[in-house]
Amino acid sequence: MSTWFAKTFPNVVYQGWNGSDGWFTAIIQTLYMTFWPAIFGGVLGIIFGLGLVLTEDGGILENKVAFNVFDKVVSFLRAFPFIILLAFIAPVTQKIVGTQIGTTASLVPLSIGVFPFYARQVQVALKSVDKGVIEAAESVGATLPDIIFDVYLREARSEMVRISTVTLISLIGLTAMAGAIGAGGLGNMAISFGYNRFANDTTFVATLLVMILVLLVQFTGDFLARILNHKQ
């Protein structure tokens, strides 16, 4: 088997498992570029998603000015193709992490790139919460934090898991795009070490690993969503 693999995937074997350009490093870099933007972008997405729902017409904190600010920021950032966003905010990335290239530098554009998408998803998920439940909570004197955490986020928890799964999958795609321009990870492996060097076996394996990661996220998200939906 090992002989067959070495003959069929010679460039994959040559790349090696360890080392700065090895497969293990590429996988860890992809996970790193997925995890932290998911945290940073997720927090921003929830804040802006809540802001959109709470300040909209008929919201419990109805405020047209605040709603327009949330709405315009999300719409403006969503309008940027990610590959252009990488270049556009390079000076900001330089200020924050001290460099414009590399795996850590990619965390800034990845977080900014994913949060407006997630914010819209959060907005849709929270708007699906029955207004009667919100009005009932208000009638018994529930505070704003009570309504946010015990009504909105609790009632929409299954849907929140689903949209988080979709967002994570989208984020994995963005890491591949960032990797293609030097951020490392499986995207860099597929393009720089595969496509650019006509090493089709390297591109194939890198793509396969990305697909496996996506399927794992999808399976986990669907499983958690079903569990939380049954608990409601």
pLDDT in tens, 124-181: 999 988 888 888 888 888 888 888 998 898 888 999 999 999 999 999 989 888 876 6
CATH architecture, range 23-231: Orthogonal Bundle (1.10)
Return the structure tokens found at 42.
């997720």
User: What's the CA gap between 135 and 143, in Å, rounded?
Assistant: 12
- Checking if the pLDDT of 232 tops 60, the result is no
Which long-range contacts does 140-144 make (Cβ < 8 Å, 24+ apart)? Answer: 144/60, 144/61
pTM value is 0.89
Q: What is the dihedral of CA 18, 27, 7, 11, to 10 degrees?
A: -80
Q: Per-residue pLDDT for 231 more than 80? A: no
Contacts 24+ apart (CB under 8 A), 144-152: 144/60, 144/61, 147/60, 148/50, 148/54, 152/50, 152/53, 152/126
Task: Tell me the pLDDT tens digit for each residue of 25-44.
Answer: 999 999 999 999 999 999 99
pLDDT at site 83:
83
Structure tokens at 226: 């079903």
